[in-house]
Amino acid sequence: MQIAKKITLLFAILSAVIISLLSGFVWYFSNEFAFEDFYKRLEARVKIAAQIKLTEDVNNKAYAKMRNQYLERLPSEKEYIMRAGEVKALDRQLPASFYNRINTGAMARYRIENHFYAGKFFKNNNNGYIVIVSANDPFGFRELKDLQRILIIGFFLSVILSFIVGWKFSNYMLMPLRNIIKSVKRIKAENLHLRLDVKDGNDEMSQLAQTFNNMLNRLETAFETQNNFISNASHELRTPLTIISGEVELAMKNIDDEQKQGKALAKIKDEAERLEHILTSLLGLAQSGFNGKNQPWEEVRMDELLWEIKDSVNQVHPNSKIEIDFSKLPDDESLLTLRANKNLMKLALNNIVSNACKYSNEKLVSVSIESNIHTLSIAVTDRGIGIPQTDIQHIFEPFYRASNTNDFKGYGVGLPLSLNIIRLHRGSIAIKSQEGVGTEIKVLLPTMV
CB 100 within 8 A of CB 110: no
CA 360/CA 381 separation, integer angstroms: 10
> What are the b/e assignments for 222-256, b being 16+ CB within 10 Å?
eeeeeeebeebbeebeeebeebbeebeebbeeeee
CA 410/CA 357 separation, integer angstroms: 13
Radius of gyration (C-alpha) of the chain in whole angstroms:
49
pLDDT number for residue 291: 47
pLDDT tens digits along 250-301: 777 777 777 777 777 777 777 777 677 666 666 655 555 544 445 578 899 9
Q: Parallel, antiparallel, or unpaired: how do β-strands 375-382 and 364-371 relate?
A: antiparallel
**308 and 438 share one domain:** yes
Determine, yes or no, domain membership for 390: yes
pLDDT number for residue 382: 92
Q: Residue 357 is part of which domain span?
A: 298-446
What average pLDDT does the segment 390-417 reach?
78
Output the domain CATH number for residue 272: 1.10.287.130
Inform me whether the pLDDT recorded for 233 exceeds 80: no
**430 and 383 share one domain:** yes
- Kindly report each contact of residues 428-433 with a partner whose C-beta sits within 8 Å and lies 24 or more positions away, as own/partner: 429/396, 431/387, 431/392, 431/395, 433/386, 433/387, 433/392
Determine, yes or no, domain membership for 293: no
CB within 8 Å of 225: residues ≥ 6 apart: 397, 398
Averaged pLDDT score across all residues of the chain:
80
Which of 288, 323, 349 is at the close of a domain? 288
155-169, 227-241, 431-445: least confident range: 227-241
**383 and 302 share one domain:** yes
Reduced DSSP (H G I as helix, E B as strand, rest coil) percent helix, strand, coil of the chain, to 5: 55, 15, 25
Residue 323 backbone phi and psi in degrees, to 5:
-120, 125
Output the domain CATH number for residue 321: 3.30.565.10
**430 and 331 share one domain:** yes
Determine, yes or no, domain membership for 102: yes
**309 and 279 share one domain:** no
Looking at per-residue confidence, does 254 or 16 come out higher?
16
pLDDT number for residue 295: 57
Number of structural domains, the chain?
Answer: 3
Minimal CA–CA distance to 91: which of 58, 135, 131? 135
- Say how many C-beta atoms besides its own lie within 10 A of residue 26's C-beta: 15
**268 and 315 share one domain:** no
CA 4/CA 21 separation, integer angstroms: 26
**256 and 371 share one domain:** no
CB 84 within 8 A of CB 112: no
pLDDT tens digits along 125-154: 778 888 888 888 877 777 778 888 888 888
Q: How far is CA 154 from CA 18, 206, 232, in A?
A: 13, 39, 74
Which of 103, 136, 169 is at the close of a domain? 136
64-73, 160-169, 255-264: least confident range: 64-73
**284 and 304 share one domain:** no
Determine, yes or no, domain membership for 7: no
Cα dihedral 120→122→127→131 (10° resolution) = -50
Determine, yes or no, domain membership for 144: no
Output the domain CATH number for residue 120: 3.30.450
Determine, yes or no, domain membership for 415: yes
CA 25/CA 155 separation, integer angstroms: 13
pLDDT number for residue 441: 93
**224 and 270 share one domain:** yes
CA 340/CA 423 separation, integer angstroms: 12
**232 and 328 share one domain:** no
Which of 288, 307, 334 is at the close of a domain? 288
**274 and 310 share one domain:** no
Strand-pair partners of 378: 369, 443
What average pLDDT does the segment 351-369 reach?
89
Determine, yes or no, domain membership for 170: no
Determine, yes or no, domain membership for 174: no
**52 and 76 share one domain:** yes
Inform me whether the pLDDT recorded for 39 exceeds 60: yes
